[in-house]
Structures are given as structure tokens and as C-alpha cells.
Amino acid sequence: MKEAFGIVDLFSGPGGLGEGFCAFPGSQGGFEIDVSVEKDPVAHGTLKLRAFLRRFGSQFPPEYIDFMNFGGPEPNWSELYPREWAQAEREALNLTLGDPETETILDERIADIRRRRGDRVVLIGGPPCQAYSLAGRGRKPSDLGYVAHDENRHLLYQEYINVLRKLRPAAFVMENVKGMLSSSIKKRKVFDLVTEDLRSGGGSAEYELFPLAGSTELHEYAQPEDFVVAAEDYGVPQTRHRVIIVGLRRDLLSTMDHFEPPRLDAASRRTTVRDVLSAMPMLRSGISARDGLCDNVEDWKRIVALGAAKIAVMPNDLEGRAAQKFSELLSAVDRSRKIIVEKRMGAADGTKLPDSCPDDLRDWLVDDRLTRLSLHETRGHMAGDLERYLFASCWAAATGCSPKAADFPDGLAPKHSNWKSGKFNDRFRVQPWDLPSSTVTCHLSKDGHYFIHPDPSQCRSMTVREAARLQTFPDNYFFRGNRTQQYIQVGNAVPPFLASKIAAALHPVLIQIFGAATPSIDKIKMAAISA
């Protein structure tokens, strides 16, 4: 087995970026996480659990598979597998970057990594987007319009640069929101300031920056927009646009006469919501306790049926075939006896994907040992929202797109004085079957209005597992915490399937730099069939 490249993962969240890198085949000298850092204790719990599971390769402990299939209390891994759990605790650190204690611990770990790995190290991560309020630079407060409460955010970005300076990795990958391209400080683009910092490596090494989706021949003339990666172009069933900057150390590149810059290979077609969600078990929502009703299937069916009858007599702007289809969909649920969805939690035998799902993504998501999808449980909704969800999902199924605020009948409008001002245009957003979803964000933790399920008969927002599939987390990925915390972790993460493709694009370049043989593309097939 060839020597792996070490990974230092900052701002790790539940581990999406690291999961993708670790999926690269180890037999080819892939990637191993030496240390990951996450400050949120719940996300860190998820991160540590995944670090523990990686100790077993593709053969997860049978106790874990049973836990995923049957639920119940999570096993005590430190008692069952003390050696592997201790290794996970050493890898995944619950620390706050910027704290003096964290700096001391990281300095020791970086020194150890440099001794063991030398230059065969990659830094990955994405400082929180708020960090760009100061662009992470040590300028005078008066030069930047300094605001005191932004100081910690500034330090977060500076910690990424500090680690880059001390680690001097062969390469780094920085991910962040597209908004950094349009932000400015004192008439200077934040993107320009950030790339200056990255090119200088914090003052210890110089780096050449590469866009993964832009021109490979003229990367030195790349425009900021070239660094935007549209996840939907690379097999992710989600329109997620993020800035991804890859840096390679110039002194290492200078030893090569020629090399192929890293570049993502576009998928043959876009993956849709239908491709990953349509075969999942059908579920009903719950009923919010705020309505004073008991959460039972009879009341839920009655509310949905009454809502369908109410909507059927309301005027709308649909015409022709779209109007006919809308009416047909409503009539399918206008009587409670027609509604067949009764469960709020995913049942057994619902773990498969539809035939339309691309093979590589199918291999990535599915674990044949699972008989049940964990975290596939709905939350409660108010009766008024159930009516809006029903209208919106019927509209989307009839037209292929989600309705805007102006499309809702007055009788369904929520009690917002500026409902039709344009500020709430997408307040209720369906994710149509035959498109990639919109960007999965942590807002899902609040109310689910932006992620209404496309099937009118289910009349609900999406579950944690559905959001996780849109984010391309494998079905055997468990998120710790309560449901709100799980939604936040999923929404804040980098799609692991995309991260695996970034790793596959970067690895051949590193192999070139360090003089080893490049693996064939067939052997690079998403190995996170981690389970």
C-alpha cells in the first residue's frame, strides 16, 4: 500500500468534506485525516462517530448496523471498542479555533504531522462566511471599518491562515459561500484580499491557486467566477454554488516540467430530486400541538381532505393542461378515505434508490446491510401550513416549478402584512421532482417551508434523511443530536459526494508532484461505499 496523504480538516462540521477525501481508495495512497477540528459539541459528536467507524474500513461493527436498523440507545463505543474509540477521540477534536488552548494543542499536532508526513499533507476546510467581514487580515481597525463584535469572526479566518503557515501543506482546499465574490471592504474585493492571503501561505510558503471548474490552461488569469463550483454539474442533486479554491505549493510545482492542473469532470446529466427521493417510504407529517389537536392519522387525513376541498373552489391562474392536472391531483386527496399515507417514520424495506439514480451516486449512498432509513421521521405542521403545502405541491406537480407568493389564493395567504411585497416570494418552496433541489441550508431547522416535499399526498416538509440524501451523505451516516441540530448539521455541510470528486481531481496532481504512479480512473470509483 502506498503512503497516504495526511489531512488537517478545520471547521469540520459533521464531516462532509473529510468524508469525501477519506473515500479515496487507500490502496492507491489515498487520504487519511490526521486531525479535524469542530467547536460545536453536537456536530463534533457526529464527526467523532464517523472517525470511529472509519477504523473498520468497509466493515462497520455489527452493533452499529443494528443501531441503524432498529434504533434504540446508541451503543457505548468506548466500552465495546476502546482502542478504535480512543483513536477517533485523538482525530476529532472539540475545540474552538482562536482559543489559546486550541493553538497549543494544534501546534503540537502540526509538529507531529510534519515529522511523520513531511510535505505529504493537505489542509481542507471553510472558515464561516462571516469571517470575511474583516477578510481575515491583520490590518488596522481604522482601515477596515472595524466593528468590535466582528473580532472573533476575524480570528476564525486568521486561524485558517495560521494553520496554513505552520503546516505548509503540499495543497489546500478552501470552500466558502459565493457571496464572498461580491463583498467589498474599503472598495477592495474580499475575494482579492483572501486570495492574497492564500497565495502568501501566511508568509511561510507561496501557493499557486487553481479553479476546479475554470480554465486549466490559463489558471493564472482565472477570474473570481471561475472558482465557483456548481454542485449540480457534478452529480449532486442540488443547486449548490460555492467558491472552492485549491492551492498548490509553488516550490513543489517548480520541480516539475509539466503537470495537469486539478479539474472536476462534469456529470453526463444532472441528478434530480426524483433520482434520490422517489423510492423512499411515504410518510405523513405530524400535527402541530399549537392547533390544539392530537397527532393522529385520522385528524391528519381530515385536515388534508378539508384543505383539498377548500383549495378546489379557490381561483388560481392556471390554464389548460396545468389547470387540469392541478385539479386531478387535488381530487386524489379530497376525501380522507383516499389518503393512504399513515406513518410518520420510515418503515423497513425502504432503503433502495430508483432505477434512474446514476450508478456512482447509488453506490455512494446505499448500504445493502440497512433495512431501514434512520432519521426519516417527519415533524409537525400547523393546519394552515398543511393547506399551503398541499396547494404548493399540487402547483409544482402541475407546472414543474414552485409557486410564488402571488400565485397563492388570498384565502391561503399567511398573516404577513407584506406577504405579496416580494420579500416573501419564495416563502413556501416546493422541490420539484425533475430538477435538482435548491440549496440545502440550516434554515431547514426552523420550519421546513423552503423544502416542501413534491408529493401532494404526503403534504409535508422533508425529513433529515431526505435532506441528507440531497446533500449526498451515505445512508449509513448518523447525525447525533435532536432533529433541529441534525438539520443544522446537514445544511451546513459540504456534500461528501462532491468532496470525493474534489479529492479525485487533486490526487493525481499530488501523485505527479511526489513522483508516484497515478491510479487508473477506474480504480478511483467512489470508495466511500464506506459501508
Q: What is the pLDDT of residues 86-136, one digit of tens each?
A: 999 999 999 999 899 999 999 999 999 999 999 999 999 998 755 454 333
Q: Say whether pLDDT at 153 is over 70.
A: no
Predicted confidence at residue 291, as pLDDT, reads 67
* One-letter amino acid of 236: V
Cα angle 505, 251, 129; round to 5:
55
The three-class DSSP label of residue 86 is helix
Predicted confidence at residue 28, as pLDDT, reads 59
Could you tell me which residue, 214 or 280, shows the higher pLDDT? 280
Predicted confidence at residue 531, as pLDDT, reads 37
Instruction: Please give the span between the terminal C-alpha atoms of the chain, in angstroms, as a whole number.
Output: 21
Predicted confidence at residue 140, as pLDDT, reads 37
CATH number for the domain formed by residue range(s) 5-271+493-524: 3.40.50.150
Q: Distance of CA 321 to CAs 325, 333, 395, Å? A: 6, 19, 12
Q: How far apart are CA 444 and CA 436, in angstroms?
A: 17
Q: How far apart are CA 290 and CA 274, in angstroms?
A: 33
Do residues 323 and 314 lie in contact, with contact meaning Cβ atoms separated by under 8 Å?
no
Predicted confidence at residue 220, as pLDDT, reads 65
Mean pLDDT, to the nearest integer, of 190-219? Answer: 84
Predicted confidence at residue 188, as pLDDT, reads 78
- What value does the mean pLDDT of the chain take? 87
Which of 481, 492, 461 lies closest to 16, judged by CA?
492
Predicted confidence at residue 129, as pLDDT, reads 56
Predicted confidence at residue 487, as pLDDT, reads 96
Mean pLDDT, to the nearest integer, of 195-211? Answer: 91
Q: Say whether pLDDT at 419 is over 90.
A: no
Q: Say whether pLDDT at 522 is over 50.
A: no
Cα angle 170, 246, 524; round to 5:
80
Question: Residue 309 corresponds to which cell in the numbers above?
Answer: 376541498
Rg over CA atoms, the chain: 24
Question: Residue 87 corresponds to which cell in the numbers above?
Answer: 483513536
| pLDDT tens by residue, 284-326 | 998 987 767 778 888 899 999 999 999 999 999 999 999 999 9
Predicted confidence at residue 148, as pLDDT, reads 31
Do residues 30 and 507 lie in contact, with contact meaning Cβ atoms separated by under 8 Å?
yes
Which of 447, 448, 486 lies closest to 464, judged by CA?
486
Predicted confidence at residue 518, as pLDDT, reads 42
Helix, strand, coil tally for the chain in percent (to 5): 45, 10, 45
Q: How far apart are CA 58 and CA 529, in angstroms?
A: 7
Question: Residue 240 corresponds to which cell in the numbers above?
Answer: 449548490
Q: Distance of CA 75 to CAs 28, 61, 131, 304, 432, Å? A: 33, 11, 38, 39, 38
Mean pLDDT, to the nearest integer, of 74-91? Answer: 98
Q: How far apart are CA 49 and CA 247, in angstroms?
A: 30
Is pTM beyond 0.85? Reply is yes
Mean pLDDT, to the nearest integer, of 16-33? Answer: 86
Give φ, ψ of 450 to 5 degrees.
-80, -10
Predicted confidence at residue 151, as pLDDT, reads 41
Q: Say whether pLDDT at 143 is over 80.
A: no
Q: According to CATH, where is 3.40.50.150 located in the chain?
A: 5-271+493-524
Give φ, ψ of 235 to 5 degrees.
95, 0
Predicted confidence at residue 138, as pLDDT, reads 40
Mean pLDDT is lowest, of 153-162, 235-244, 466-475, for 153-162
Mean pLDDT, to the nearest integer, of 367-379? Answer: 94
Active site residues per annotation: 129
Q: Say whether pLDDT at 418 is over 80.
A: no
Mean pLDDT is lowest, of 98-107, 263-272, 335-344, for 335-344
